Every structure is written in structure tokens, then in C-alpha cells.
Amino acid sequence: MAHFRFQRDIRDHADSSRVETWRALWIGLAGLIMMASGGWSRAAADETKPKNAGGTPFSPEAIDFFEARVRPILVNRCIKCHGPEKQSSNLRLDSREAVLKGGNSGPSLVPAKPEESLLIQAVAQTHEELKMPPGGKLPEPSVAIITQWVALGAPWSATASKGAASSRIEGHDPPTPHWSLQPLVSPSVPQVKDRNWAGTAVDAFILARLEAAGLTPSARADKRTLIRRATIDLWGIPPSAEEIDAFELDSTPDAFARVVDRLLASPRYGERWGRHWLDVARYADTKGYVFVQDRNYPYAYTYRDYVIRAFNSDLPYDQFIVQQLAADQLPRGDDARMLAAMGFLTVGRRFLLDQNEIIDDRIDVVSRGLLGLTVTCARCHDHKFDPIPSEDYYSLYGVFASSIEPAELPLLQKVEPGPAFADYERKLHAAKKARDDFLAERRDEIQGDLTARFSVYLKAAYDLDLDGVAAGWTNAPAPTNSTRGDSEA
């Protein structure tokens, strides 16, 4: 039986090189992050940070203001003419050093003095000669942002100081480390003053932050509150009165640990926490707007049950992800239930059965759910600030377009022969026969109608002179009896 199978050998795809480029991009970016986090000393990093007039690095708030408010304006309205590719009037605006140096007219700005800065006079268009940008004056909010930036001393981030020349996408800034692409690390447990309070490594991290802020932990919760918190967190419902009483009477040191183990061992745990992943997977049991087939996914529940089972069995996360992307390519023995994992891709909207929209939705759920990135903008254009070109989007598109979703879903569990199964097969055979007989009857009816009316349709086409209409003869004369000849017969 055919499954929804991925073509794992992407060399068979026309755009396989772009798929490899996509993979290499993420691996290379992760490597750069690792090098930056482990290979540079803090002192060396501080040396690369731009500094204000007092010789101290700019505050994080000032850098955030530059990154979020100023840098997009420079990229969108200035770098094209004053960047690595082109330097009108010998002026570059892609690094703080270049901005301070200026161009033919002298320094572009004076830190902390916007009224004396040539850049402000140009963008506000108060200068007699210089009025920038050439395409028209910037909106007043943008002018105010640049003025505030200069008043702050023109803060600039170390990342932006590297210049736009290293950008993956031409004309845009280089990519910055994204949280979802940073490597996992095992940090050392911090030292705390109150070692008796920190029972676990997690406690040590919490206590270290509290001590750094001059705070002390809250008082320990009573046992009734503790079991209510744990049960509601893990099950989504409060504990019963009997469970509360039993916990309060249990004076053993591991009483709470056994409560947690009991809660985690219950199917209710997977039902409670699996729903959060189902939100990521945009789970639904209907297809949205479709009009020529059933709108329901009658077997969507099998994916829901797979997610709940994965949580309850503590399935490792890497296996959890791989199964949802390529369960049909994995060895599974006699247990076919793993195939339900591919509902992650298939239980989505069907967009009037438009294949382009269906594939776009699958690219979106993979990239947004697993990478923490919205990639589908690249369907129409390269991302402006992320290293995601359209070529990579369509490489992924090719992978999904060359995959096959079976019309008849595979059987996930063996069915034991018996009276109930025999009755089911009999009814299924009867329903299929009724469907096939109906389609055959309708097909014969349509063919007979076309055969009987064929001459009528030809005569109507001749009378309407459809050939003339198709050729653009808007004033073609209507046929007369004298020109029709024997066609009237």
C-alpha cells in the first residue's frame, strides 16, 4: 500500500542543490553561533563594540533602539546609494565609522548634536542644497527617529558594524543569530548562598537570579496547595478530595515525588500537554473550504492519539519530529501506528483543493513549527532581513510536490477476523459497488445525451458563427438561408 512518502534522495529533484544550500545555511549559521559563544573571550568581544563619546559601550537599550528603529530605515532608504555596492558623494552609511567620516561634504553627523549634523539637515530637508533621499522626503516619524538616534550619540551594534557586504541576500544586512537556531548548551550550575534551599540544579538557577536581584524565595506551599498546583499543571483538572487527603497524611520524604510520578504515568498527562503540540500542528478534523468532497477528516483522531501516546510514552523529541516528517520511510516492523504521525503534514486546510496553497501550508507548518521562522513570505520575494531566498522556498516546494499522499489511507492496526469485521467488509463492498454503479450510470447518461445532441450543438455553433467570434469578427453577418445550403436539412 502506498504511503505518503518523501523522496529521500533529493538528488532526483531538479532543485536539489537549493535544498542542500538551505541545509548548509542552517548548519553554517549554527556553527558561527557556536564559534561566537565559545571561541571569543568577553574582553575581545567588548573591543569590537562601538563606544560613545565617553569611551564606554552603548547601553543595550540604545542598541535595541538602533536595531529596531534606525537600522531598517538605513537599509530600506539609504544603503542602496551609500553602501558597499555604491557610494554616492563618497559617503557610506553601513558602519558607524563611515557615517562619522562622512563624504565629500564632510562628516555626516556630530554625535549627540543633531542640530549640527549634516545627515539630519539632509533628511529633514532644511539644508539649502542637500535634500535626501532623492525619491522624496522621509515621513516625519522616520525623521524624528533618526534625530533621536543622533541625540543618543548615534549608537551602533557590533553586528551592524560588520557592514552589509557579508549579507546572504544582496542589498540586505547579514543575518543575526536567531533563537531557534542557537545550539543547545549544558551550562554550569551557578553557586548560591543558600545551598539548603536549592534541592535541584533547576532550583540553583532560580535562586541565583533571586539572590542577584536581592530577593528571597517565597515560603514553601502547604501540601494541599502543592498537590493542587501539580495536578492542575499536569492534568488540567484539580485533584480529588481523596487524593488531597492521602497526600496530606503521607509523611514520607518522597511523598511529593510519588505524586508527580503518578500524575505523569496517567494518560491524562498526554491529553493535557499534547494539545499544545496540536496547536503547533494546526490540528483540525475539517478541511476548510472544499466543495467537491467531504469536508471532514474522518481519521484525524489517529494523529491526535499519536501525539498523546508520544507524550505519555516519553518519546524522545528527535524521534517525535522525524516520525512526523518521514514515518513512511522508517523501519516500523508490524506496528503501523507510527504512520499516523504524518498527520502533522496532512491534517491541514485544503484551500479548495489548490495544490499550491496546500503545499504552502505544509511548508509553513514545518518552518514555523520546527524552526521558529515564517518562511512562506519567500513564496513571492526574498526575505528582507532573514537569509531565506525564494530559491530555498521552492526547493522545499519541490520536495512536497514530489511526495505522494495516498487516496486510500493505510491500515494502522491489524484487524482480527470475526463476525464484526466480516459485517464491516460486506457493508464496505456494498457501498463501493453503489458508488461505482452510480458513477457508471451517470457516465452512460452523459455520453448518451452528447451523442443524441451532437448534431444540434454543431448546428447551433454554425448559426452563432462561433468561428467568427473566436477570430474577433465582432460584426460578422449572421448566416442566411441562402448561405446555409443543405445544412438546414
What would the pLDDT profile of 98-111 be if each residue is shown by its tens digit? 999 999 989 999 99
Q: What pLDDT does residue 53 have?
A: 59
Instruction: Provide CB contacts within 8 A for 158, sequence distance 6+.
Output: 45, 48, 49, 50
**Band of the pLDDT at 27, cuts 50, 70, 90?**
very low
Q: How far apart are CA 230 and CA 250, in angstroms?
A: 16
Statement: residue 218 has pLDDT above 70: yes
Judged against a pLDDT cut of 80, whether residue 18 lies above it is answered with no
The DSSP letter of residue 371 is I
Closest CA to 97 of 146, 150, 50, 64: 50
Tell me: pLDDT of 169 over 50.
no
- Cβ–Cβ under 8 Å, residues 376 and 364: yes
Contacts with 286 (C-beta within 8 Å, 6 or more apart), sequence order: 295, 296, 297
Question: Which residues have a Cβ under 8 Å from the Cβ of 263 and sit 6 or more positions away?
Answer: 230, 231, 234, 235, 269
pLDDT of amino acid 160: 56
Give me the pLDDT at residue 288, please.
Answer: 92
The reported pLDDT for the residue numbered 470 is 61
Rounded average pLDDT over 372-399: 89
Give the mean model confidence (pLDDT) for residues 9-33.
38
* Average model confidence (pLDDT) across the chain: 82
Looking at residue 468, its pLDDT comes to 65
Cβ-contact 151, 114 below 8 angstroms: yes
pLDDT single digits (tens) 435-446: 999 999 999 999
Residue 183 has a pLDDT of 80
Residue 52: the pLDDT is: 62
- Does residue 174 surpass a pLDDT of 60? no
Among 79-93, 367-381, 464-478, which stretch is predicted with the lowest mean pLDDT? Answer: 464-478
Exposure string over 435-457, b if 16+ CB within 10 A, otherwise e? eeeeeeeeeeeeeeeeeeeeeee
Q: How many residues does this entry show for the chain?
A: 489
Whether residue 20 has pLDDT greater than 60: no
Q: What cell was used for 464?
A: 452563432
This prediction has a pTM of 0.57
Q: In this structure, what C-alpha cell is assigned to residue 123? A: 533628511
Residue 115 pLDDT grade (very low, low, confident, very high; cuts 50, 70, 90): very high
pLDDT of residue 1: 35
Average of per-residue pLDDT across 378-394:
88
What value does the mean pLDDT take over residues 139-163?
82
455: confidence class by pLDDT, cuts 50, 70, 90 = confident
Per residue in 232-242, pLDDT tens?
999 999 999 99
- What one-character-per-residue DSSP string does 343-369 give? HHHHSS--GGG-HHHHHHHHHHHHIII
CA angle 84, 143, 128 (to 5 degrees): 85
- Which tops the pLDDT comparison, 45 or 182? 182
Sign of CA dihedral 390, 391, 396, 397: positive
DSSP label of 375: -
pLDDT score recorded for residue 298: 94
3-state helix, strand, coil in the chain (%, to 5): 55, 0, 40
Tens-place pLDDT, residues 292-314: 889 999 999 999 999 999 999 99
The average pLDDT across 319-326 equals 96
- Output the pLDDT for position 164: 41
Cell numbers describing residue 282: 494546526
More confident residue, 167 or 258: 258
The string of pLDDT tens digits covering residues 401-442 is 999 899 888 889 888 889 988 999 999 999 999 999 999 999
User: How large a percentage of the chain has pLDDT more than 70?
Assistant: 80
Beta-bridged to residue 286, according to DSSP, are: 296
